[in-house]
Structure 1
Protein backbone atom coordinates (compact mmCIF):
# COMPACT_ATOMS: atom_id res chain seq x y z
CA UNK A 1 0.00 0.00 0.00
CA UNK A 2 1.54 3.29 -1.14
CA UNK A 3 1.29 6.08 1.45
CA UNK A 4 2.08 9.71 0.69
CA UNK A 5 3.57 11.62 3.65
CA UNK A 6 0.38 13.66 4.09
CA UNK A 7 -1.75 10.48 4.12
CA UNK A 8 0.19 8.79 6.93
CA UNK A 9 -1.46 8.23 10.31
CA UNK A 10 -0.57 10.90 12.83
CA UNK A 11 0.20 8.35 15.55
CA UNK A 12 -0.64 4.76 16.48
CA UNK A 13 -3.61 5.93 18.51
CA UNK A 14 -5.30 7.22 15.33
CA UNK A 15 -5.51 3.85 13.60
CA UNK A 16 -6.09 1.96 16.85
CA UNK A 17 -9.05 4.19 17.71
CA UNK A 18 -10.42 3.81 14.19
CA UNK A 19 -10.26 0.02 14.38
CA UNK A 20 -11.87 0.00 17.84
CA UNK A 21 -14.68 2.24 16.58
CA UNK A 22 -16.56 -0.62 14.95
CA UNK A 23 -14.24 -1.39 12.02
CA UNK A 24 -14.07 -5.15 12.50
CA UNK A 25 -14.50 -6.55 8.99
CA UNK A 26 -11.63 -6.94 6.55
CA UNK A 27 -9.95 -8.93 3.79
CA UNK A 28 -7.50 -11.75 4.49
CA UNK A 29 -4.96 -12.22 1.69
CA UNK A 30 -2.75 -15.31 1.50
CA UNK A 31 -0.13 -16.25 -1.08
CA UNK A 32 -1.18 -19.26 -3.09
CA UNK A 33 1.13 -21.97 -4.43
CA UNK A 34 3.31 -20.99 -7.42
CA UNK A 35 1.22 -20.41 -10.50
CA UNK A 36 -1.95 -19.69 -8.51
CA UNK A 37 -3.56 -16.40 -7.61
CA UNK A 38 -3.56 -15.28 -3.95
CA UNK A 39 -6.48 -16.52 -1.87
CA UNK A 40 -8.60 -13.71 -0.42
CA UNK A 41 -11.31 -14.08 2.22
CA UNK A 42 -13.64 -11.31 3.48
CA UNK A 43 -14.40 -11.88 7.15
CA UNK A 44 -15.13 -10.40 10.55
CA UNK A 45 -12.26 -10.38 13.04
CA UNK A 46 -11.54 -9.58 16.65
CA UNK A 47 -8.46 -7.66 17.73
CA UNK A 48 -6.77 -9.15 20.79
CA UNK A 49 -3.67 -7.26 21.90
CA UNK A 50 -1.17 -7.82 19.07
CA UNK A 51 -3.27 -10.53 17.44
CA UNK A 52 -6.26 -10.81 15.17
CA UNK A 53 -8.68 -13.69 15.78
CA UNK A 54 -10.69 -15.27 12.95
CA UNK A 55 -12.63 -18.46 12.34
CA UNK A 56 -13.56 -19.90 8.96
CA UNK A 57 -15.27 -22.99 7.58
CA UNK A 58 -13.08 -26.08 7.33
CA UNK A 59 -13.65 -26.46 3.52
CA UNK A 60 -12.31 -22.93 2.89
CA UNK A 61 -9.43 -23.04 0.36
CA UNK A 62 -7.47 -20.57 2.49
CA UNK A 63 -6.09 -23.38 4.69
CA UNK A 64 -4.06 -24.94 1.90
CA UNK A 65 -2.65 -21.51 1.01
CA UNK A 66 -1.66 -20.88 4.66
CA UNK A 67 0.10 -24.25 4.78
CA UNK A 68 2.08 -23.09 1.75
CA UNK A 69 2.90 -19.68 3.26
CA UNK A 70 1.80 -18.52 6.74
CA UNK A 71 2.83 -14.92 6.08
CA UNK A 72 -0.43 -13.09 5.36
CA UNK A 73 -1.90 -9.63 5.00
CA UNK A 74 -5.16 -8.47 6.55
CA UNK A 75 -6.68 -5.22 5.28
CA UNK A 76 -9.46 -3.17 6.84
CA UNK A 77 -10.87 -0.17 4.98
CA UNK A 78 -13.74 2.25 5.32
CA UNK A 79 -14.86 5.90 5.47
CA UNK A 80 -14.43 6.02 1.70
CA UNK A 81 -15.99 8.41 -0.80
CA UNK A 82 -15.54 9.51 -4.40
CA UNK A 83 -14.69 13.22 -4.64
CA UNK A 84 -15.67 14.83 -7.99
CA UNK A 85 -13.12 16.93 -9.84
CA UNK A 86 -14.99 20.28 -9.55
CA UNK A 87 -14.81 20.03 -5.75
CA UNK A 88 -11.00 19.97 -5.95
CA UNK A 89 -10.42 22.67 -8.56
CA UNK A 90 -7.83 25.27 -7.58
CA UNK A 91 -9.21 28.76 -6.84
CA UNK A 92 -9.45 30.87 -9.96
CA UNK A 93 -9.51 27.90 -12.34
CA UNK A 94 -12.47 26.36 -14.21
CA UNK A 95 -14.26 23.75 -12.05
CA UNK A 96 -13.84 21.21 -14.85
CA UNK A 97 -10.06 21.46 -14.44
CA UNK A 98 -10.33 19.83 -11.03
CA UNK A 99 -9.09 16.25 -10.83
CA UNK A 100 -11.27 13.72 -8.97
CA UNK A 101 -9.94 11.41 -6.27
CA UNK A 102 -10.97 8.88 -3.67
CA UNK A 103 -10.97 9.43 0.07
CA UNK A 104 -10.58 6.44 2.38
CA UNK A 105 -9.05 4.98 5.49
CA UNK A 106 -7.11 1.71 5.25
CA UNK A 107 -5.23 -0.23 7.91
CA UNK A 108 -3.07 -3.08 6.70
CA UNK A 109 -1.73 -5.72 9.07
CA UNK A 110 1.19 -7.94 8.16
CA UNK A 111 0.86 -11.15 10.15
CA UNK A 112 2.06 -14.68 10.69
CA UNK A 113 -0.86 -17.08 10.70
CA UNK A 114 -1.33 -19.89 13.22
CA UNK A 115 -4.11 -22.42 12.67
CA UNK A 116 -6.18 -23.31 15.74
CA UNK A 117 -7.62 -26.85 15.64
CA UNK A 118 -7.79 -27.89 19.29
CA UNK A 119 -11.51 -28.00 20.22
CA UNK A 120 -11.13 -26.13 23.51
CA UNK A 121 -8.87 -23.53 21.90
CA UNK A 122 -11.45 -23.01 19.14
CA UNK A 123 -14.19 -22.64 21.75
CA UNK A 124 -12.11 -20.04 23.58
CA UNK A 125 -11.56 -18.15 20.31
CA UNK A 126 -15.32 -18.12 19.66
CA UNK A 127 -15.99 -16.92 23.20
CA UNK A 128 -13.61 -14.00 22.63
CA UNK A 129 -15.30 -13.13 19.36
CA UNK A 130 -18.79 -13.31 20.84
CA UNK A 131 -17.69 -11.09 23.73
CA UNK A 132 -16.92 -8.48 21.09
CA UNK A 133 -19.83 -8.95 18.70
CA UNK A 134 -22.53 -9.89 21.24
CA UNK A 135 -21.37 -8.22 24.46
CA UNK A 136 -24.85 -8.58 25.99
CA UNK A 137 -24.19 -12.30 26.24
CA UNK A 138 -27.43 -13.23 24.47
CA UNK A 139 -26.12 -16.55 23.19
CA UNK A 140 -25.75 -20.12 24.37
CA UNK A 141 -22.55 -21.06 26.20
CA UNK A 142 -19.72 -21.99 23.86
CA UNK A 143 -18.58 -25.38 25.12
CA UNK A 144 -17.12 -28.39 23.34
CA UNK A 145 -19.60 -30.76 24.98
CA UNK A 146 -22.80 -28.72 24.73
CA UNK A 147 -25.08 -27.73 21.82
CA UNK A 148 -25.31 -25.82 19.65
CA UNK A 149 -21.63 -24.91 19.39
CA UNK A 150 -20.16 -28.23 20.49
CA UNK A 151 -21.48 -30.11 17.47
CA UNK A 152 -20.46 -27.27 15.10
CA UNK A 153 -16.85 -26.88 16.23
CA UNK A 154 -15.52 -29.70 13.99
CA UNK A 155 -16.80 -27.78 10.96
CA UNK A 156 -14.58 -24.73 11.57
CA UNK A 157 -10.93 -23.92 12.11
CA UNK A 158 -9.62 -20.99 14.08
CA UNK A 159 -6.94 -18.60 12.91
CA UNK A 160 -4.68 -16.51 15.08
CA UNK A 161 -2.82 -13.79 13.21
CA UNK A 162 0.21 -12.52 15.10
CA UNK A 163 0.75 -8.95 13.90
CA UNK A 164 4.32 -8.13 12.86
CA UNK A 165 3.71 -4.76 11.17
CA UNK A 166 0.92 -2.20 10.73
CA UNK A 167 0.57 0.38 7.95
CA UNK A 168 -2.26 2.89 8.12
CA UNK A 169 -3.42 5.38 5.48
CA UNK A 170 -5.86 8.27 5.92
CA UNK A 171 -6.31 9.74 2.44
CA UNK A 172 -8.28 12.98 2.82
CA UNK A 173 -6.32 15.64 0.90
CA UNK A 174 -4.32 16.78 3.91
CA UNK A 175 -1.86 18.53 1.58
CA UNK A 176 -4.62 20.82 0.27
CA UNK A 177 -5.50 24.19 1.89
CA UNK A 178 -7.62 24.01 5.03
CA UNK A 179 -10.41 26.02 3.40
CA UNK A 180 -10.66 23.60 0.50
CA UNK A 181 -10.64 20.52 2.74
CA UNK A 182 -13.34 22.02 4.94
CA UNK A 183 -15.43 22.87 1.89
CA UNK A 184 -15.14 19.32 0.54
CA UNK A 185 -16.16 17.90 3.92
CA UNK A 186 -19.27 20.09 3.80
CA UNK A 187 -20.10 18.90 0.29
CA UNK A 188 -19.71 15.27 1.35
CA UNK A 189 -21.99 15.80 4.34
CA UNK A 190 -24.60 17.43 2.10
CA UNK A 191 -24.42 14.71 -0.55
CA UNK A 192 -24.71 12.04 2.20
CA UNK A 193 -24.41 9.06 -0.13
CA UNK A 194 -22.87 5.78 0.99
CA UNK A 195 -20.06 6.56 3.44
CA UNK A 196 -19.94 10.28 2.61
CA UNK A 197 -20.82 11.38 6.14
CA UNK A 198 -18.20 9.30 8.00
CA UNK A 199 -15.64 10.32 5.35
CA UNK A 200 -16.48 13.98 5.99
CA UNK A 201 -16.14 13.48 9.73
CA UNK A 202 -12.78 11.78 9.28
CA UNK A 203 -11.56 14.61 7.06
CA UNK A 204 -12.58 17.25 9.60
CA UNK A 205 -10.82 15.34 12.39
CA UNK A 206 -7.66 15.41 10.31
CA UNK A 207 -8.11 19.13 9.59
CA UNK A 208 -8.46 19.84 13.31
CA UNK A 209 -5.28 17.91 14.12
CA UNK A 210 -3.03 18.89 11.24
CA UNK A 211 -4.16 22.35 10.12
CA UNK A 212 -2.15 23.48 7.07
CA UNK A 213 0.12 20.76 5.72
CA UNK A 214 3.78 21.17 6.71
CA UNK A 215 6.27 18.87 4.91
Structure 2
Protein backbone atom coordinates (compact mmCIF):
# COMPACT_ATOMS: atom_id res chain seq x y z
CA UNK A 1 0.00 0.00 0.00
CA UNK A 2 1.57 3.26 -1.17
CA UNK A 3 1.18 6.15 1.28
CA UNK A 4 1.97 9.79 0.51
CA UNK A 5 3.27 11.78 3.51
CA UNK A 6 -0.01 13.74 3.69
CA UNK A 7 -2.07 10.53 3.70
CA UNK A 8 -0.18 8.90 6.57
CA UNK A 9 -1.69 8.24 9.96
CA UNK A 10 -0.85 11.00 12.41
CA UNK A 11 -0.18 8.59 15.28
CA UNK A 12 -1.06 5.07 16.41
CA UNK A 13 -4.07 6.31 18.35
CA UNK A 14 -5.67 7.54 15.11
CA UNK A 15 -5.89 4.16 13.39
CA UNK A 16 -6.62 2.37 16.66
CA UNK A 17 -9.60 4.65 17.30
CA UNK A 18 -10.81 4.17 13.73
CA UNK A 19 -10.71 0.37 14.09
CA UNK A 20 -12.48 0.56 17.47
CA UNK A 21 -15.34 2.57 15.92
CA UNK A 22 -16.69 -0.65 14.43
CA UNK A 23 -14.38 -1.37 11.51
CA UNK A 24 -14.09 -5.09 12.20
CA UNK A 25 -14.33 -6.63 8.73
CA UNK A 26 -11.41 -7.00 6.34
CA UNK A 27 -9.53 -9.01 3.73
CA UNK A 28 -7.03 -11.71 4.68
CA UNK A 29 -4.39 -12.00 1.93
CA UNK A 30 -2.19 -15.09 1.76
CA UNK A 31 0.57 -16.01 -0.67
CA UNK A 32 -0.71 -18.70 -3.00
CA UNK A 33 1.17 -21.91 -3.80
CA UNK A 34 3.86 -21.61 -6.50
CA UNK A 35 2.27 -20.81 -9.83
CA UNK A 36 -1.08 -19.96 -8.26
CA UNK A 37 -2.62 -16.56 -7.46
CA UNK A 38 -2.80 -15.20 -3.91
CA UNK A 39 -5.73 -16.25 -1.75
CA UNK A 40 -7.95 -13.40 -0.49
CA UNK A 41 -10.62 -14.06 2.15
CA UNK A 42 -13.18 -11.50 3.37
CA UNK A 43 -13.98 -12.03 7.04
CA UNK A 44 -14.86 -10.45 10.38
CA UNK A 45 -12.11 -10.26 12.99
CA UNK A 46 -11.46 -9.26 16.55
CA UNK A 47 -8.22 -7.83 17.88
CA UNK A 48 -6.20 -6.98 20.93
CA UNK A 49 -2.87 -7.59 22.65
CA UNK A 50 -0.93 -7.38 19.39
CA UNK A 51 -2.88 -9.97 17.46
CA UNK A 52 -6.03 -10.50 15.39
CA UNK A 53 -8.38 -13.46 15.73
CA UNK A 54 -10.45 -14.99 12.93
CA UNK A 55 -11.93 -18.36 12.06
CA UNK A 56 -12.65 -19.94 8.69
CA UNK A 57 -14.33 -23.07 7.39
CA UNK A 58 -12.00 -26.06 7.25
CA UNK A 59 -12.37 -26.46 3.43
CA UNK A 60 -11.16 -22.89 2.83
CA UNK A 61 -8.17 -22.91 0.41
CA UNK A 62 -6.40 -20.36 2.60
CA UNK A 63 -5.27 -23.12 4.98
CA UNK A 64 -3.01 -24.82 2.44
CA UNK A 65 -1.46 -21.49 1.54
CA UNK A 66 -0.92 -20.50 5.20
CA UNK A 67 0.71 -23.85 5.98
CA UNK A 68 3.20 -23.18 3.18
CA UNK A 69 3.80 -19.52 4.10
CA UNK A 70 2.43 -18.05 7.36
CA UNK A 71 3.39 -14.47 6.40
CA UNK A 72 0.08 -12.74 5.63
CA UNK A 73 -1.53 -9.32 5.46
CA UNK A 74 -4.93 -8.27 6.74
CA UNK A 75 -6.48 -5.11 5.31
CA UNK A 76 -9.40 -3.15 6.71
CA UNK A 77 -10.89 -0.28 4.71
CA UNK A 78 -13.86 2.05 4.87
CA UNK A 79 -15.16 5.63 4.74
CA UNK A 80 -14.57 5.63 1.00
CA UNK A 81 -16.10 7.90 -1.62
CA UNK A 82 -15.56 8.80 -5.27
CA UNK A 83 -14.73 12.50 -5.67
CA UNK A 84 -15.63 13.76 -9.17
CA UNK A 85 -13.29 15.96 -11.15
CA UNK A 86 -15.30 19.21 -10.98
CA UNK A 87 -15.04 19.18 -7.18
CA UNK A 88 -11.24 19.22 -7.48
CA UNK A 89 -10.76 21.78 -10.24
CA UNK A 90 -8.18 24.47 -9.49
CA UNK A 91 -9.59 27.97 -8.89
CA UNK A 92 -9.94 29.87 -12.13
CA UNK A 93 -9.95 26.73 -14.31
CA UNK A 94 -12.88 25.02 -16.07
CA UNK A 95 -14.60 22.46 -13.81
CA UNK A 96 -14.01 19.81 -16.48
CA UNK A 97 -10.25 20.22 -15.96
CA UNK A 98 -10.54 18.81 -12.45
CA UNK A 99 -9.10 15.33 -11.95
CA UNK A 100 -11.24 12.86 -9.94
CA UNK A 101 -9.92 10.75 -7.08
CA UNK A 102 -10.99 8.34 -4.36
CA UNK A 103 -11.13 9.07 -0.65
CA UNK A 104 -10.76 6.23 1.85
CA UNK A 105 -9.25 4.98 5.06
CA UNK A 106 -7.23 1.75 5.04
CA UNK A 107 -5.32 -0.02 7.81
CA UNK A 108 -3.04 -2.86 6.75
CA UNK A 109 -1.62 -5.33 9.24
CA UNK A 110 1.43 -7.45 8.43
CA UNK A 111 1.14 -10.64 10.44
CA UNK A 112 2.58 -14.04 11.22
CA UNK A 113 -0.26 -16.57 11.16
CA UNK A 114 -0.70 -19.35 13.72
CA UNK A 115 -3.34 -22.01 13.10
CA UNK A 116 -5.59 -22.91 16.05
CA UNK A 117 -6.88 -26.50 15.80
CA UNK A 118 -7.16 -27.77 19.38
CA UNK A 119 -10.90 -27.95 20.24
CA UNK A 120 -10.82 -26.00 23.51
CA UNK A 121 -8.54 -23.36 21.98
CA UNK A 122 -11.01 -22.93 19.11
CA UNK A 123 -13.88 -22.65 21.58
CA UNK A 124 -11.97 -19.97 23.49
CA UNK A 125 -11.37 -18.07 20.24
CA UNK A 126 -15.09 -18.17 19.41
CA UNK A 127 -15.95 -16.97 22.91
CA UNK A 128 -13.64 -13.98 22.38
CA UNK A 129 -15.31 -13.20 19.08
CA UNK A 130 -18.84 -13.54 20.43
CA UNK A 131 -17.98 -11.27 23.35
CA UNK A 132 -17.23 -8.61 20.75
CA UNK A 133 -20.01 -9.23 18.23
CA UNK A 134 -22.77 -10.32 20.64
CA UNK A 135 -21.86 -8.60 23.91
CA UNK A 136 -25.38 -9.13 25.27
CA UNK A 137 -24.57 -12.83 25.55
CA UNK A 138 -27.66 -13.86 23.59
CA UNK A 139 -26.16 -17.13 22.41
CA UNK A 140 -25.69 -20.69 23.65
CA UNK A 141 -22.53 -21.49 25.63
CA UNK A 142 -19.53 -22.20 23.42
CA UNK A 143 -18.25 -25.51 24.77
CA UNK A 144 -16.64 -28.51 23.11
CA UNK A 145 -19.12 -30.92 24.70
CA UNK A 146 -22.37 -28.99 24.25
CA UNK A 147 -24.55 -28.22 21.22
CA UNK A 148 -24.72 -26.37 18.97
CA UNK A 149 -21.09 -25.26 18.93
CA UNK A 150 -19.53 -28.49 20.13
CA UNK A 151 -20.60 -30.45 17.08
CA UNK A 152 -19.63 -27.61 14.74
CA UNK A 153 -16.08 -27.04 15.99
CA UNK A 154 -14.53 -29.77 13.79
CA UNK A 155 -15.77 -27.88 10.73
CA UNK A 156 -13.69 -24.76 11.42
CA UNK A 157 -10.12 -23.79 12.17
CA UNK A 158 -9.02 -20.75 14.12
CA UNK A 159 -6.31 -18.30 13.19
CA UNK A 160 -4.26 -16.04 15.43
CA UNK A 161 -2.46 -13.35 13.48
CA UNK A 162 0.47 -11.93 15.42
CA UNK A 163 0.87 -8.36 14.18
CA UNK A 164 4.42 -7.40 13.20
CA UNK A 165 3.69 -4.09 11.44
CA UNK A 166 0.78 -1.70 10.89
CA UNK A 167 0.42 0.85 8.08
CA UNK A 168 -2.47 3.31 8.06
CA UNK A 169 -3.63 5.52 5.20
CA UNK A 170 -6.18 8.34 5.43
CA UNK A 171 -6.60 9.61 1.86
CA UNK A 172 -8.64 12.82 2.04
CA UNK A 173 -6.67 15.45 0.04
CA UNK A 174 -4.91 16.71 3.16
CA UNK A 175 -2.24 18.39 1.01
CA UNK A 176 -4.88 20.63 -0.61
CA UNK A 177 -5.78 24.09 0.76
CA UNK A 178 -8.17 24.30 3.69
CA UNK A 179 -10.83 25.94 1.49
CA UNK A 180 -10.66 23.07 -1.00
CA UNK A 181 -11.03 20.37 1.66
CA UNK A 182 -13.90 22.23 3.33
CA UNK A 183 -15.73 22.55 0.01
CA UNK A 184 -15.31 18.87 -0.86
CA UNK A 185 -16.59 17.83 2.57
CA UNK A 186 -19.66 20.00 1.96
CA UNK A 187 -20.19 18.36 -1.45
CA UNK A 188 -19.97 14.91 0.13
CA UNK A 189 -22.43 15.84 2.85
CA UNK A 190 -24.88 17.21 0.30
CA UNK A 191 -24.58 14.20 -2.04
CA UNK A 192 -24.96 11.76 0.90
CA UNK A 193 -24.63 8.58 -1.16
CA UNK A 194 -23.11 5.40 0.29
CA UNK A 195 -20.31 6.30 2.67
CA UNK A 196 -20.19 10.00 1.66
CA UNK A 197 -21.19 11.23 5.16
CA UNK A 198 -18.51 9.20 6.95
CA UNK A 199 -15.88 10.22 4.35
CA UNK A 200 -16.81 13.86 4.97
CA UNK A 201 -16.49 13.34 8.73
CA UNK A 202 -13.03 11.86 8.30
CA UNK A 203 -11.97 14.74 6.06
CA UNK A 204 -13.20 17.31 8.57
CA UNK A 205 -11.58 15.45 11.46
CA UNK A 206 -8.23 15.39 9.69
CA UNK A 207 -8.61 19.04 8.70
CA UNK A 208 -9.17 19.92 12.34
CA UNK A 209 -5.95 18.17 13.35
CA UNK A 210 -3.73 19.13 10.44
CA UNK A 211 -4.99 22.51 9.26
CA UNK A 212 -2.88 23.75 6.33
CA UNK A 213 -0.53 20.98 5.18
CA UNK A 214 3.11 21.57 6.13
CA UNK A 215 5.60 19.11 4.51
Give me the TM-score of the superposition, normalised by structure 2: 0.99
Q: What CA distance in whole angstroms lies between the structure 2 residues aligned with 1:21 and 1:176?
A: 27
1:208 aligns with 2:211: no
Indicate the residue corresponding to 2:47 in structure 1: 47
Q: Secondary structure at the match of 1:93?
A: coil
Q: What CA distance in whole angstroms lies between the structure 2 residues aligned with 1:7 and 1:139?
A: 41
Q: What CA distance in whole angstroms lies between the structure 1 residues aligned with 2:186 and 2:119?
A: 51
- Kindly report which structure 2 residues correspond to 1:35-74, keeping only aligned pairs within 5 A, or say none: 35-74=35-74
Deviation of 1:34 after TM superposition, in Å, equals 1.0
Deviation of 1:49 after TM superposition, in Å, equals 1.6
- Kindly report which structure 2 residues correspond to 1:33-112, keeping only aligned pairs within 5 A, or say none: 33-112=33-112
Indicate the residue corresponding to 1:180 in structure 2: 180
Show CA shifts across 1:20-46 (max 9, x none): 100000000000111000001000000
Q: What CA distance in whole angstroms lies between the structure 1 residues aligned with 2:71 and 2:95?
A: 46
Deviation of 1:51 after TM superposition, in Å, equals 0.4
Note the aligned Cα RMSD (angstroms): 0.4
Q: What CA distance in whole angstroms lies between the structure 1 residues aligned with 2:48 and 2:131?
A: 11
Q: What CA distance in whole angstroms lies between the structure 2 residues aligned with 1:182 and 1:65?
A: 45
Structure 2 unaligned spans of 5+: none
Runs of 4+ more than 6 Å apart: none
Deviation of 1:48 after TM superposition, in Å, equals 1.9
Q: What CA distance in whole angstroms lies between the structure 2 residues aligned with 1:49 and 1:212?
A: 35
Q: Secondary structure at the match of 1:141?
A: coil
Indicate the residue corresponding to 2:160 in structure 1: 160
Give me the TM-score of the superposition, normalised by structure 1: 0.99
Deviation of 1:147 after TM superposition, in Å, equals 0.5
Aligned residues: 215
Indicate the residue corresponding to 2:18 in structure 1: 18
Q: What CA distance in whole angstroms lies between the structure 2 residues aligned with 1:33 and 1:58?
A: 18
Q: Secondary structure at the match of 2:26?
A: strand
Show CA shifts across 1:64-98 (max 9, x none): 00011000000000000000000001111111111
Q: Secondary structure at the match of 1:103?
A: strand
Deviation of 1:200 after TM superposition, in Å, equals 0.3
Indicate the residue corresponding to 1:123 in structure 2: 123
Indicate the residue corresponding to 1:9 in structure 2: 9
Q: What CA distance in whole angstroms lies between the structure 1 residues aligned with 2:42 and 2:210?
A: 33
1:133 aligns with 2:146: no
